[in-house]
């Protein structure tokens, strides 16, 4: 929670803790950025006041969105400013002050739940893609094995020391084909390793 008013910060923190939340509180946007960058893992949500000294909510939001490690954290903006500028801030939700605590808790639960669902959907999509990539790699690998085996046989029949121009040309063509097939084999092998790592992670 990023809130410069000490009274609001303390009372709201107590109420949210009573609801089962675990939270850290800071007094301005700069402190929030420092705390987030030091944190071992990102929070489920940022509750952000807009009008603050040192670094206000708008400045914090710009800095947060520019930081790849912090940009995905859901955010609820809160302010007594009811202007279009305040409501237009890029946030997952906006709540006005004075705060309706029950409404705020509802918004918090809604935003956190939606973010978790998006994260699960993204993970499922990544896992599904990994399985598809592994299947495709397997289908490529089988015929590629035959291609490489036959190319190596041809390479033995047309060695590098051949004197005839036609044989020399065939040797070069076969060598190029072997190099291309080996490159495909390496790509396929990598495509099989990465999905396995993704599946183990999920």
pLDDT of residue 31 exceeding 90, the answer is yes
Residue 200 has pLDDT above 60, yes or no: no
Whole-structure pTM over 0.85, yes or no? no
Q: How far is CA 22 from the centre of its chain?
A: 24
Give the mean pLDDT of 89-107.
83
If you average pLDDT over every residue of the chain, what do you get? 81
Sketch the domain layout of the chain as residue ranges: 6-99, 122-201
Mean pLDDT across 160-168: 75
Q: Are strands 75-79 and 46-49 parallel, antiparallel or unpaired?
A: parallel
- The residue written with tokens 């994260």 in the block is 119
Determine the topology of domain 6-99 in CATH: Rossmann fold (3.40.50)
* % the chain with pLDDT above 70: 85
| pLDDT at site 27 | 92
Q: In the prediction, which pLDDT does 182 show?
A: 86
To 10 degrees, what angle do helices 6-18 and 101-157 make?
A: 70
Across the strands, what pairs with 93?
A: 76
What is the mean pLDDT of the segment spanning 29-36? 92
Does residue 35 surpass a pLDDT of 70?
yes
pLDDT at 92: 81
Asked if the model's pLDDT at residue 128 lies above 70, the reply is no
Q: Please give the biggest Cα pair distance in the chain.
A: 93
Output the six-digit token pair for 34. Answer: 């420092």
pLDDT number for residue 32: 92
Q: SS3 letters for the chain?
A: CECCCHHHHHHHHHHHHHCCCCCCCECCHHHHHHHHHHCCCCCCCEEEECCCCCCCHHHHHHHHHHCCCCCCCCEEEEECCCCHHHHCCCCCEEEECCCCHHHHHHHHHHHHHHHHHHHHHHHHHHHHHHHHHHHHHHHHHHHHHHHHHHHHHHHHHCCCCCCCHHHHHHHHHHHHHHHHHHHHHHHHHHHHHHHHHHHHHC
> Tokens representing 87?
């409501």
Let me know: does 80 contact 52? Beta carbons within 8 Å.
Answer: no
Q: Could you report the per-residue pLDDT of 54-74, keeping only the tens digit for each?
A: 898 889 988 998 888 888 888
- Written as six digits, the tokens of 150 are 């036959």
Q: At 137, list the tokens.
A: 């790699």
């Amino acid at each position: 929670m990023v809130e410069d008013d000490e009274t609001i910060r303390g009372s709201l923190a107590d109420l949210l803790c009573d609801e089962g939340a675990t939270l850290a509180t800071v007094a301005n946007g700069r402190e929030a950025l420092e705390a987030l960058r030091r944190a071992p893992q990102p929070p489920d949500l940022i509750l952000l006041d807009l009008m603050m000294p040192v670094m206000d909510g708008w400045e914090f939001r710009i800095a947060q969105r520019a930081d790849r490690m912090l940009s995905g954290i859901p955010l609820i903006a809160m302010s007594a400013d009811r202007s279009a500028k305040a409501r237009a801030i890029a946030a997952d939700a906006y709540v006005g002050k004075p705060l309706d605590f029950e409404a705020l808790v509802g918004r918090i639960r809604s935003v956190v739940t939606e973010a978790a669902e998006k994260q699960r959907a993204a993970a499922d999509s990544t896992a599904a893609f990994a399985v598809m990539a592994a299947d495709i790699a397997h289908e490529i690998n089988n015929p590629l094995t035959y291609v490489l085996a036959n190319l190596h046989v041809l390479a033995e029949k047309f060695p590098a020391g051949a004197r005839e121009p036609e044989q020399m040309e065939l040797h070069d063509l076969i060598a190029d084909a072997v190099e291309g097939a080996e490159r495909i084999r390496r790509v396929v092998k990598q495509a099989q390793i990465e999905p396995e790592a993704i599946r183990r992670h999920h």
